[in-house]
Every structure is written in C-alpha cells, then in structure tokens.
C-alpha cells in the first residue's frame, strides 16, 4: 500500500509539472504585474491590490510613489490625505490605515527597511502570506507560492489540490512544484486564469492542457444551480 501511494504521488507530481510546463510555453513572460522599484513600493502596491485590479493600482501608484518615497512619508501624512490619494483603489480607509501602521512598524522594528522573511512580513498590518510571498519572490529572491483567487481556482480545477483554504493550497502545491519554480508557476496560473480559465465561463476548448485536466467541458460546475420555488 505504501509503495502504491508513493507511486501515485510521483505520477501526480509528474502530471502537474507537465501541465505547468505547457502553460509556461504559452505564458513565458508571466510575472508580477504590479509596477514598483523597491520593496516599499511593492508592499504598498500589494496592499492596494486587495480586492482591486493590478491595472487600477498601476494607475494610482505613479503619483503616489512620487509623493511618498519613504516609510516616514506615509507615517507623517494625515490619514485622510492618504485616503484621498488611494481612494480609487477601493476600501481606501482600511488600506490607508494598514499602510500607515505597516510603515510605522517598519520604522520601529525593522530599522526603516521592509523585512525579508516570512514571519516579519506577516507581522505587518495588511500583509498575509500571499503578499509576503510576492515580496519574498520579487525583492528578496526567496521562492514562494502566491495563492490568489486565480491560483486557488486553477489549482483545484487542475486537480492539484482539493483544499479551499489558501494556506493548505500553498502546502499542497509546495509538494508538487519544484521549489525554484514556485513563483513563476504561481504567476503562470494567474495569467491563464485571467485569459482562459475564467471563473464563470472557462474557455476549455482553447486550453492547452484540456487533455490533462479533470475539469474541461464542464463550465456548468462553476455556476450555482438556480433556486427553485
């Protein structure tokens, strides 16, 4: 039984890697689509990106990053002014407070520099494992799996996981993906989720991995059954 389970695990990992390599061939430039020049800018951008598109965030941040260049700048400004500067990203009151509290912690506990380890990053306001993994991948060269809504949806559809919780999804993917590809594979799933494997109407016939996916030609599974009276 143990040998059989080990063989099944190897087969699943091999299938997973083949799926990801096919997707990588379609999206060779898949990457973080938030614009930034340093860890502080990416930290702020990822906080703004919660329940907001990267495109919208990228429209807001050029002026924002020109105005606020250091953690001190974010802490010193009146929160209502910061709210106005980020209003179009939605949930601007909560996001402004998270940015200020995170920057205050960076000044008080991390010498004014965005920390480069998971435990320190998730201790900052507005930073969960997804945001921390973005920062670790992009700015500190530390591989991490970025489980956003697209990554979670595709990981389940492709049979990489059965979990709903992002942390458990991350743990399942860590067992399947080579560590050096954690970041690039995450971005690849996001790109595929945005262009083909859509939430409500996946374009299964256009998918390059439909023959290896347990989900193809079943878009009705993404829709809730209509209520009966």
Identify the CATH number of the domain defined by range 39-140.
1.10.340.30
Q: Give domain limits for the chain.
A: 39-140, 145-220
- For residue 16, which of 119, 157, 221 has the smallest C-alpha distance? 157
pTM (2 d.p.): 0.87
Give the chain's mean pLDDT.
Answer: 91
Q: Indicate the DSSP class of residue 188.
A: H
Structure tokens at 82: 């910061």
- Label residue 220 by pLDDT band (50, 70, 90): very low
What is the CATH number that goes with domain 145-220?
1.10.1670.10
Fold match, 39-140 / 145-220: no
- Closest of 142, 138, 166, 168 to residue 46, by C-alpha: 138
pLDDT(190) > 60:
yes
For the stretch 70-125, pLDDT in tens is 999 999 999 999 999 999 999 999 999 999 999 999 999 999 999 999 999 999 99
Active-site residues, by number, are 130, 148
pLDDT category of residue 6 using cuts at 50, 70 and 90:
low
């Amino acid at each position: 039984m143990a040998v059989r389970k080990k063989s099944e695990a190897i087969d699943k990992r091999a299938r997973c890697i083949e799926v990801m390599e096919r997707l990588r061939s379609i999206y060779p430039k898949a990457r973080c689509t938030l614009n930034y020049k340093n860890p502080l800018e990416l930290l702020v951008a990822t906080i703004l990106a919660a329940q907001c598109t990267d495109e919208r965030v990228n429209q807001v941040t050029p002026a924002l990053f020109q105005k606020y260049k250091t953690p001190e700048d974010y802490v010193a400004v009146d929160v209502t002014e910061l709210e106005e500067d980020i209003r179009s990203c939605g949930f601007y009151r909560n996001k402004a407070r998270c940015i200020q509290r995170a920057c205050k912690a960076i000044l008080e506990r991390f010498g004014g520099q965005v920390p480069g380890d998971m435990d320190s990053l998730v201790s900052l306001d507005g930073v969960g494992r997804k945001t921390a993994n973005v920062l670790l991948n992009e700015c500190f060269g530390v591989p991490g799996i970025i489980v956003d809504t697209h990554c979670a949806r595709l990981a389940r559809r492709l049979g990489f996981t059965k979990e709903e919780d992002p942390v458990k999804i991350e743990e399942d993917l860590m067992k399947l993906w080579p560590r050096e590809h954690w970041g690039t594979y995450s971005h690849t799933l996001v790109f595929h989720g945005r262009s083909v494997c859509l939430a409500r109407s996946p374009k299964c016939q256009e998918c390059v991995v439909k023959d290896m996916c347990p989900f193809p030609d079943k878009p009705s599974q993404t829709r809730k059954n209509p209520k009966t009276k």
